[in-house]
Chains A and B, each alone.
Chain A
Amino acid sequence: SYELTQPPSVSVSPGQTASITCSGDKLGDKYACWYQQKPGQSPVLVIYQDTKRPSGIPERFSGSNSGNTATLTISGTQVMDEAVYYCQAWDSSSYVFGTGTKVTVL
């Protein structure tokens, strides 16, 4: 079955740039999306179709996808961005989520 691998954790200072990777076989041939999940809350879609931001998502969130890696970039990271981030893609009639990355802003 298809797997998406993310680093368990990423640390970033306020105002700096955080990059979260998501690796999967030929992931660049699929659409990748990203979710933010804060403790006790439901996931929120922050990037879809590799690079698109849903309405209401700040411009500091951006995405890319090429080769075997999709990347979520948070520019000018704010304390409120501290959360777990999941990537997700569609493969062989199933949706697959990444393992999740805890982003700590300190």
Chain B
Amino acid sequence: EVQLVESGGGVVRPGGSLRLSCTASGFSFDDFAMSWVRQAPGKGLEWVSGINWNDASTGYADSVKGRFIISRDNAKNSLFLQMNSLRAEDTALYYCAREGGGSSSNQAFDVWGQGTMVTVSS
């Protein structure tokens, strides 16, 4: 079964840091680009960051650029998001998502995890 499982969420004070992880199973992880997408409570979806299959290319939303770092370890089928200088507005459910199409991306997220909650509060 194709599956993504996120972990690492929690409560952190403004200015603090947190590292999210996503473990993939059921597919060849190193064949796919991956992204993090977040959803603030009661709000819509927001793309946060993405990384291509071999770690050579990354992208960030303007709202997190310079504060968040995406990375992956293909040997461990894992995706990461290092979040620094956290703000109240970063409070959200963070999803790990697979970009469909393999090496020929179809620019759509075809597999999603269940999400891990990040709360930034003093």
Contacts and interface: CB of A to CB of B under 8 A. Distances in A.
Interface of A: 1, 31, 33, 35, 37, 42-45, 48-49, 52, 54, 86, 88-90, 93-100
B44 A86 contact: yes
Nearest to A93: B59
B47 interface: yes
21 contacts: A31-B107, A33-B107, A35-B109, A37-B45, A42-B113, A43-B112, A45-B100, A45-B108, A52-B106, A54-B100, A54-B110, A86-B44, A86-B45, A89-B107, A93-B59, A94-B47, A95-B47, A97-B44, A97-B45, A97-B47, A100-B45
Contact of A48 (B46, B108, B112): B108
Interface string B59-86: 1011000000000000000000000000
Interface string B84-99: 0000000000010000
B59 A94 contact: yes
A101 to B, nearest CB: 10
A4 B37 CA distance: 16
Nearest to A96: B47
Given A95-B47, A97-B44, A48 B100 contact: yes
Q: Taking each of B46, B61, B107, B115, which has the highest tally of chain A beta carbons within 10 Å of its own beta carbon? A: B107
